[in-house]
Amino acid sequence: MAKISNEARLAQAIYQHIGGPTNTSKVYNCMTRVRINIKDDHQVDIEALKLVEGVMGVVEDGDTLQVVVGPGTAAKVANVMADQGHVQQGRQVQENLDQDLTSGRSEAERITAENKNKQKQKNNTPFKQALKVIASIFVPLIPAFVGAGIIGGIASIIQNMLTVGALEPGMWDNIFLVLKILQNGLFAYLNIYIGINAARVFGATEGLGGVVAGVTYLTGMLPEAPLPNIFTGGDLAAGQGGVIGVIIAVYLLSLVEKSLRKVIPDAIDIIVTPTISLLVVGMMTIFLIMPIAGFVSTSLVGAINWVLQVGGAFAGFILGATFLPLVMFGLHQILTPIHIEMIAATGKTVLLPILAMAGAGQVGAAFALWLKCRRNKQLTNIIKGSLPVGILGIGEPLIYAVTLPLGRPFVTACLGGGIGGAVLGAIGGVGATAIGPSGVALIPLIADGQWPAYVMGLVAAYIGGFILTYFFGVPQTAQEASEITGSPSNTMEALDNL
């Protein structure tokens, strides 16, 4: 008999304590957790789930259950659960999950999950639920944004080298063309992908969601005979309203479709419901949603660009300094549609590089804590485990396992991020061609060859976070000596035990 894998054992144990696959509507994952959409919370035994060997923590977030099984993401577990329950998705994780391990990275992930759970329980509001919906729509597309963005960045480099004569035309022209075709495989049809995901989240038919989103491209409309904008008297433009309009349209589709299915006889439902849904929502999309959402998205992008142009370094400082609190409360997800709208309108988002400075300030603060608290082996071990992913732009371990529990370092890290944001705001125009990565990982996606300016911002945030934390942000208790003795429940408990 074949030996069962650790991932299969974990998947079976998780299902055992959440009511089985039938109580699960969706399984997916983020950097550190298997995320499970639960149908009936009463069937979930949280305490028993926490006792499963290999489960490092359990986070309840509305109707989503997050099971922490190690750093990175719980890809293998999510894949096994998806196969067993015929549900969904996953990413990779390989880690020693013993509760007494002394690996700083794993310890940081466990503490991160516990402290983040406390924050989420305090802030589980309708607004947070709306943000979770936005995240559910866009998170599955992030790998596509990263891959297509990097390919587009390579294409831009080749184009620049062709322009200055550093590369010979011919073969390189064809390579450039192929790379642009690959990039446009995402961005040319982005609304349709978002429409399909939104339909899945809102409970509409996914194919209909894609069609309604595709309506925004106004395919078939002749340039010499455009449809009118009933609000302004001008012409409608293909793609007007962007992703904001698509999300609104698909949400309305879900309402119309569900209402029709309640009254349409089963014998003709397959014919009548999709036809009426498309007619009603399609017309509303073209003549109502596209003009209104177009005005909103255009105004939003224009306002952000105006703030950055007029505010310069000051605006950059405010944005860089306030982004970590947004991440702490999960509010950063609302910025994803804004980034996409900016990329669609200008080819880049100038907001993302500035916001990425927040994580860099936190990295600088962590280095200061490491240096000044070097006698505190428990704390420095956690920092060592959190820093590598922090440098790559994954800030949660440093937030929830290090700076936030200590208090003052979180403030000085925010100020360090503000310094980096001020540098980029003063330079101006530094943008990214895609969303997804942050920190050092964002460098390949910086548009127009302005990556040296982005690196200057990173260095400024590193230095700012380090200096402010070293001189003003280190609590006295954090500097006292300690040894690695096991797994305290959080950083402050480790300090209290000194």
User: Would you name the residues annotated as active-site residues?
Assistant: 30
**Residue found under tokens 């990425």:** 356
Q: Using an 8 Å Cβ cutoff, are 491 and 406 in contact?
A: yes
Query: In sequence order, what are the beta bridge partners of 38?
Result: 24
| Polymer length in residues for the chain | 498
Residue 139 corresponds to which tokens in the numbers above?
A: 């998170």
Query: In sequence order, what are the beta bridge partners of 34?
Result: 29, 67
Burial class (CB in 10 A: 0-12, 13-18, 19+), 155: buried
Q: How many CA atoms lie within 13 A of 392 on its CB side?
A: 8
- Which residue, 333, 353, 247, 345, is CA-closest to 303? 345
Residue 188 corresponds to which tokens in the numbers above?
A: 């040319």
Pairwise CA distance, residues 427 & 420, whole Å: 11
* Contacts for 56 with CB less than 8 Å, ≥ 6 apart: 68, 69, 70, 97, 99, 106, 109, 110, 113
Pairwise CA distance, residues 465 & 196, whole Å: 41
* Helix H or strand E encompassing 24: strand 24-29
* Helix H or strand E encompassing 37: strand 33-38
Residue 278 corresponds to which tokens in the numbers above?
A: 């498309």
- Burial annotation 346-365 (CB, 10 A radius, 16+ → b, else e): eebbbbbbbbbbbbbbbbbb
Say which amino acid occupies 443. Answer: I
- Which residue, 496, 354, 359, 341, is CA-closest to 422? 354
Query: In sequence order, what are the beta bridge partners of 235?
Result: 228
* Chain center to CA of 493: 30
Q: What is the DSSP string of 410-463?
A: HHHHHHHHHHHHHHHHHH----BSS-S--GGGGGGGBGGG-HHHHHHHHHHHHH
How is the chain split among helix, strand and coil, in percent rounded to 5? Answer: 70, 5, 25
Residue 64, SS3?
strand
